[in-house]
A = this chain, B = another copy of it.
Amino acid sequence: MVATKMYELGAKANLIRTLYMFGLQQAETVGEENVFDYSIGNPSVPPPQAVSDAIVELATKYSPMEINSYTPAMGLSEVRQGLADYMNKTYGAELKADNFYLTCGASASLSIIMKALIEQDGDEVIIIAPYYPEYKTFVTVPGGKVVIVPPDTKHFQLDIEKLEAAITPRTKAVLINSPNNPSGMVYSAETLTKLGDLLREKSQELGHPIYLISDEPYREIVYDNIPILYVPKFYKDSIILYSYSKSLSLPGNRAGYILVPGGVEDGKDVYTAVIGAGRALGFVNMPNLYQHVILKCMGMTSDFSVYDQNRKTLYNNLSEMGFDCVYPSGAFYLFMKAPDGDDMQLMENGKKINLLLVPGTGFDCPGYVRISYCKQPEMVERSLPVFQKLRDMYK
Q: Which residues of A contact B (CB under 8 A)?
A: 1-11, 42-43, 46-47, 51-52, 55-56, 58-60, 63-65, 67-71, 104-105, 107-112, 115-119, 134, 137-138, 141-142, 172, 208-209, 249-254, 265-266, 269-277, 279-285, 287-290
Is there contact, CB below 8 Å, between B64 and A1? no
Q: Which of B2, B65, B110, B287 contacts A269 (CB 8 A)?
A: B2
Is there contact, CB below 8 Å, between A117 and B253? no
Q: Which of B111, B209, B279, B283 contacts A1 (CB 8 A)?
A: B209
CA distance A43 to B65 in the complex (A): 9
Chain B: minimal CB distance from A351 (Å): 23
CA distance A249 to B69 in the complex (A): 7
26 residue pairs bridging A and B, Cβ less than 8 Å apart: A1-B266, A3-B117, A3-B142, A3-B276, A4-B119, A5-B276, A6-B115, A6-B277, A7-B272, A10-B272, A10-B273, A10-B275, A10-B276, A46-B64, A51-B64, A52-B64, A55-B58, A55-B289, A56-B59, A59-B59, A70-B251, A105-B284, A110-B282, A254-B254, A281-B282, A289-B289
Is there contact, CB below 8 Å, between B249 and A65? yes
Is there contact, CB below 8 Å, between A118 and B282? no
Q: Which of B51, B63, B70, B277 contacts A68 (CB 8 A)?
A: B51
Closest to A65 in B: B46
Chain B: minimal CB distance from A287 (Å): 5
Is there contact, CB below 8 Å, between B52 and A274? no
**Hey, which chain B residues are within 8 Å of A58, CB to CB?**
55
Is there contact, CB below 8 Å, between B56 and A119? no
Residue among A109, A252, A279, A285 facing the most chain B CB atoms (10 A cut-off):
A252
**Hey, which chain B residues are within 8 Å of A276, CB to CB?**
3, 5-11
**Hey, which chain B residues are within 8 Å of A65, CB to CB?**
46, 249
Q: Which of B46, B60, B117, B282 contacts A56 (CB 8 A)?
A: B60
Is there contact, CB below 8 Å, between B252 and A3? no
Closest to A134 in B: B279
**Hey, which chain B residues are within 8 Å of A63, CB to CB?**
46
Is there contact, CB below 8 Å, between A6 and B116? yes
Is there contact, CB below 8 Å, between B269 and A7? yes
Closest to A53 in B: B59
**Hey, which chain B residues are within 8 Å of A11, CB to CB?**
272, 276
Apart from the given pairs A7-B269, A9-B276, A104-B104, 9 other A-B contacts in the complex at a CB distance below 8 Å: A1-B208, A2-B266, A3-B276, A5-B276, A10-B275, A10-B277, A46-B63, A68-B250, A104-B284
Q: A137-B279, A270-B2, A279-B9 are in contact. Are A288 and B253 (CB under 8 A)?
A: yes
CA distance A118 to B3 in the complex (A): 6
